[in-house]
Amino acid sequence: MQITKMVLVLAVAGLVSACGNKIEESPDKMVRAGMQRMMTEDNQFNFTGTVKLELGNQAGVNAADKSTDVIAHQASDASEELSEVESDYYKQQMESVNRVMGIISKSVSIPVTGAVDIKKGRVEVIPEFRYENKNALISYKFPVHIDFNNLSVYMDASAITNLSDITNEQSNPQLVIGERYIQLALPQDRVQHLPIADLLKSLPKAIDDGYAAIESSAFSKVAVDEFGKGLEAKSQVRFNSTYAMSLKYDVAMLQSLSQALKQAASKAGSDSKYQPQDYAVLQNIVDGLISVYSGNNGTANTPFGFYMAQLKNKSEPIVYNFYFDSKGRVLGVRTQMTLPMNEMKGLKGPINIDYTVQYEYNGNPKFTMQPTPQNSVNIGSRLGLY
């Protein structure tokens, strides 16, 4: 009995010592590990989320609490160089914009559901644009299905095509959709020469390289908030970002993909499924995006490049909160961001977006759409795009 007790005491002491010496993973590495697990292990799941648009300020003051006099003062500052007539018109327009934004903040939401099956190269997203107010409920759903195997995007646009078909039956019969999905796809003779599968295999590392490019000090472990408690999360990591940091992440991720394609091309032999020129097609696309996101090679002169260049100077915050279970798996993410709307000085406050999403790892994700050539209409060919 004494020997048994001694063994138990030593065992317990060993466990306590092991727990005490356990090295806690840093917050940035928790996020990186969690995202890698989502991409490589638990990569078949459903998700639900909600997007809310709010008009307020970063200090948390509700837009409705501001008086009309304050609004008028802001509008006056924004239009001080306008004529008296133009200034009054500007004030009226901004007051209308504020009222509309107030209605949107109060009554509009975008619930989102979907499914991801990385192993089979399929992703489905179903946004619902929902307006709900006294005696009013309006909802539109636009399910979107992406098939990476044939580079096709399918949309169930019946919420609007059921009405447009009535007009097109007489004027443009070729545009009648009926109950079929709308498909946008590259011609299959091009798709078969694109190494999409190799690109997808490189994506987990590219995502990790993107996070690795961000300073670790931007990540911090915080107490689990109410949203996380609803997920039964055991830990929470906050990532304080900016638009400039997001661009830095995007460039690092794209550079990783470009390098992976370059390496795959160098290893391609004469008997390989894809040849170096096939990889070069995708690499040129990725390198083009890198130039736009980083503002190189004169891309800042293009409309999109100019917009991306402007984001580098925006100080509005983007805050990500990651929620983990005891095994380090990501249970959900909450993103809170302020849109860069400095030009709209007549607004009651900045426009904030609050997006929450939670994941259901089931190994057998449920897809609403099952597109086939029979139940889809390739709108690109009908419109003569190719």
User: Phi and psi for 23 in degrees, rounded to 5?
Assistant: -85, 120
Q: At what angle do helices 276-294 and 196-212 cross, to 10 degrees?
A: 30
* Largest Cα span, the chain: 97
Nearest CA among 220, 254, 253 for reference residue 237: 220
First to last CA, the chain: 84
For 159, which DSSP code? H
Instruction: Give the β-pairing of 136-141 and 330-338.
Output: unpaired
Q: What is the pLDDT along the chain (386 residues), one digit of tens a residue?
A: 444 444 444 444 444 444 444 446 899 999 999 999 999 999 999 999 999 988 765 433 333 333 334 334 444 444 455 565 557 777 777 777 777 777 777 888 899 999 999 999 999 999 999 998 888 899 999 999 999 988 899 999 888 887 777 877 777 777 788 888 999 888 877 888 899 989 999 999 999 999 999 999 999 999 999 999 999 999 999 999 998 899 999 999 999 999 999 999 999 988 888 999 999 999 999 999 998 888 776 666 677 777 777 777 777 889 999 999 999 999 999 999 987 765 556 666 677 899 999 999 988 999 999 999 899 988 876 655 55
Instruction: Give the β-pairing of 108-117 and 44-55.
Output: antiparallel
User: Phi and psi for 81 in degrees, rounded to 5?
Assistant: -95, 0
Contacts of residue 382, defined as CB under 8 A and 6 or more positions apart, other chains included, come to 174, 175
Asked if 164 contacts 364 with a C-beta cutoff of 8 angstroms, the reply is no
DSSP alpha helix (H) spans, 44-130? 68-78, 84-107
Nearest CA among 115, 126, 112 for reference residue 159: 126
Give how far the C-alpha of residue 373 lies from the chain's centroid of Cα atoms, to the nearest Å.
29
Interatomic CA distance for residues 373 and 386, integer angstroms = 17
